[in-house]
Amino acid sequence: GAGVSQSPSNKVTEKGKDVELRCDPISGHTALYWYRQSLGQGLEFLIYFQGNSAPDKSGLPSDRFSAERTGGSVSTLTIQRTQQEDSAVYLCASSSGLASYNEQFFGPGTRLTVL
Amino acid sequence: AQSVAQPEDQVNVAEGNPLTVKCTYSVSGNPYLFWYVQYPNRGLQFLLKYITGDNLVKGSYGFEAEFNKSQTSFHLKKPSALVSDSALYFCAVRDWAGSARQLTFGSGTQLTVLP
């Protein structure tokens, strides 16, 4: 079956520009997560959506970062006025149900490079 | 709060030898523990998880992990390593009693299996 997909796979932008990253979760998965993976580091949690509940935004590093999830499916992560330190791989994951022991399924990521 | 430590950035092992990738965790309550593997330019793939019950968990590709509550460890093991096991391995934890729904990941261990 189809896994989590993300687009674009690579994005190069200039400092100060806005970017939008897209995530299509596995059909039927109610939970959706965004993480950031910087070179040589682990994964940093950004934001979590569960169904129609208010998202957990506690991991967003600044107010330049925002995300939305339309219709409980596709999600878009937006970074405004990009900075060089935003360069990283942005990973999306989804999982089924409410149980916190359900494994997350990851997409291939979007590699963002800010020049 | 929940945290994970992977004390080794790099592990090298000869093909056919047993391998161990170490992970220790810290949670307030009881943990859900996960191992993921990441191949170059790919997203993370789920290997195995510990929820409760038997301390030895078996997962994909012949990997297993042993939960040790007294040592707060969840080391990943494989009896006989393959060159194709070479990848980046991440341990992750979620405190089942905590409010955080996201996983907290370790910094990753690069496993290299030498032919």
Q: What is the pLDDT of residues A45-72, one digit of tens each?
A: 999 998 888 899 999 999 999 999 988 7
Average pLDDT, integer, range B31-44: 90
Residue in B with minimal Cα distance to A94: B102
pLDDT digits (tens, 9 = 90+) for A10-28: 999 999 999 999 999 999 8
Q: Which amino acid is at B58?
A: K
For residue A56, which residues of chain B lie inside 8 Å, CB to CB? 100-102
Helix %, strand %, coil % for chain A, to 5? 5, 45, 50
Q: What is the pLDDT of residue B98?
A: 65
Contact B31, B93 (CB under 8 A): yes
Indicate yes or no: CB of A59 within 8 angstroms of CB of B102: yes
Contact A11, A21 (CB under 8 A): yes
CB nearest to B44's CB, from A59, A100, A106: A106
Mutate to test the interface with A, among B101, B107, B109 (most CBs of A within 10 A): B101
- Greater confidence, A99 or B25? B25
The C-alpha atoms of residue B45 and residue A104 are separated, in whole angstroms, by 9
**DSSP character for A60?**
-
Q: What is the pLDDT of residue B1?
A: 80
Is A1 a residue whose pLDDT tops 60? no
Residue B91: name the closest of B56, B67, B61, B62 by CA.
Answer: B67
For B9-54, the three-class secondary structure string (H helix, E strand, C coil) is CEEEEECCCCEEECCEEECCCCEEEEEEEECCCCCEEEEEEECCCC
